[in-house]
Amino acid sequence: MSLADASPSGRRHRVVQWATGALGRSAIRGVLDRDDMELAGVWVHTPAKVGADAGTLAGRDPVGVTATGDLGEILDLEADCVVYAPSPARDRFAELETICALLASGKNLISLSGLVYPQAHGPFFVNELEQACKRGGVSVHGSGVSHGFMADVMPLVLSRLSRRITHVYARECTDFARHPSWRMVHRVLGFGKDEEAYLRALRPTRAAMRMLFSESLHLIAAGLGVELDEIDVDVDHRLAGADLSTAAGPIPRGTVAAARWTFSGIAAGRPVITVEVVHKADAARMPDEWGRPGYSLRVDGRPSLTLSAGEEWVSDAVSAASAHALNSVPAVCAADPGIRTYLDLPMITGRMHL
């Protein structure tokens, strides 16, 4: 499906940006740089940002779109799509009401914080989304890079070259030294916390990580025609051996500075899909245990396939994630109403700039 197919009238898609963290600001800049889109509105979480010009928030000149913290104002906007990019929720059900309200208001929604495979959360969650999509006549889609591409879509792309597949493995190791969000680095990942505080928070964090990455495992399984019986989660962590300086703030010596999460999808009594996620506060100043930043994918079958990429595979992961969402807008807006995963949409491509 081409852009012309998605928007035969040539009308620009009106896009709302939900949340203006690093991802949201990148998405705003992406919309402003495209001639097939226009910024219809911006929702912000922080009260201090309410009333600010969206262009200013994104580091650009003012564009005449004022940020709001009022859900009602966003619902009342005439818009085609919401790019939904808040910090990852610890409880996917906690944000379900807001997402459904946006969908029911007639706005397609592309999430950068999950919803890659909503079916992973059970029939109630799916039914709520489907009914909201039906009321609004729209679709919902989850996008991204770590989950939303390399950990789920790329293994499926590789799988088309193999038969009699027995196991799929995906590993990602991310260096957060240059990540600008302290909220993400400290509150979500737990870096910079002493070990006792980290372990106290581990139970809810484990549930949140399971909820987030279970979508990737179930997407792979669905693409390969397998139904998972359960998902096992294992986690380990390491402390900083020296004071670390990151873009988000300092990570003192002796506090948590790395974690490895292993998610195993079980079927027929054995692991059939494994996703290993490694986070490091500053990989250049930490041991190579758990590998260097980058990605490794393996499909065990006939033939077996392996694909590896260092961290340089993408020059800016934040920009890549926002571009992935924006490149999906025409196809999502053109899709039939309902949940639309990568298994439902046509191949998404970028646009050539001349």
**137-148 confidence digits (pLDDT tens):** 999 999 988 778
Name the token pair of 79: 């818009």
Q: What average pLDDT does the chain have?
A: 93
Q: Given a cut of 60, is residue 3 above it in pLDDT?
A: no
pLDDT band at 6 (very low <50, low <70, confident <90, very high): very low
Average confidence (pLDDT) over 302-312: 93
pLDDT of residue 187: 87
How many angstroms separate the Cα of 67 from the Cα of each of 24, 89, 106?
12, 22, 20
120 CB-side CA count, 13 A: 26
Q: Given a cut of 50, is residue 1 above it in pLDDT?
A: no
CB neighbour list of residue 325: distance below 8 Å, 6 or more residues apart: 27, 83, 85, 110, 112, 143, 144
pTM of the model: 0.90
Average confidence (pLDDT) over 102-112: 98
Alpha-carbon distance of 227 to 166, in angstroms, equals 14
Name the token pair of 106: 């007639």
pLDDT of residue 7: 52
Name the token pair of 165: 């597949």
pLDDT of residue 5: 40
- Name the DSSP letter for residue 191: T
**Contact yes or no for 35/101 (Cβ under 8 A):** no
Peptide bond into 303 cis (omega under 30): yes
CB neighbour list of residue 220: distance below 8 Å, 6 or more residues apart: 152, 155, 156, 168, 170, 265, 273
Alpha-carbon distance of 7 to 32, in angstroms, equals 18
Alpha-carbon distance of 2 to 71, in angstroms, equals 32
Name the token pair of 91: 């409880």
Average confidence (pLDDT) over 84-104: 91
pLDDT digits 0-9 by tens, 31-86: 999 999 999 999 999 999 999 999 999 999 999 999 999 999 999 999 999 999 99
Average confidence (pLDDT) over 160-181: 93
pLDDT of residue 181: 83
| Percent share of the chain, pLDDT over 90 | 82
Alpha-carbon distance of 68 to 44, in angstroms, equals 6
Whose CA is closest to 130, among 104, 156, 168?
104
pLDDT of residue 88: 75
pLDDT digits 0-9 by tens, 9-28: 578 999 999 999 989 999 99
- Of 78-92, 221-235, 266-280, which range is least confident? 78-92
Strands 305-310, 294-302: parallel, antiparallel or unpaired by DSSP? antiparallel
Average confidence (pLDDT) over 145-174: 92
How many angstroms separate the Cα of 183 from the Cα of each of 82, 88, 192, 255?
23, 10, 11, 16
Q: Given a cut of 90, is residue 173 above it in pLDDT?
A: yes
Whose CA is closest to 87, among 23, 157, 38?
23
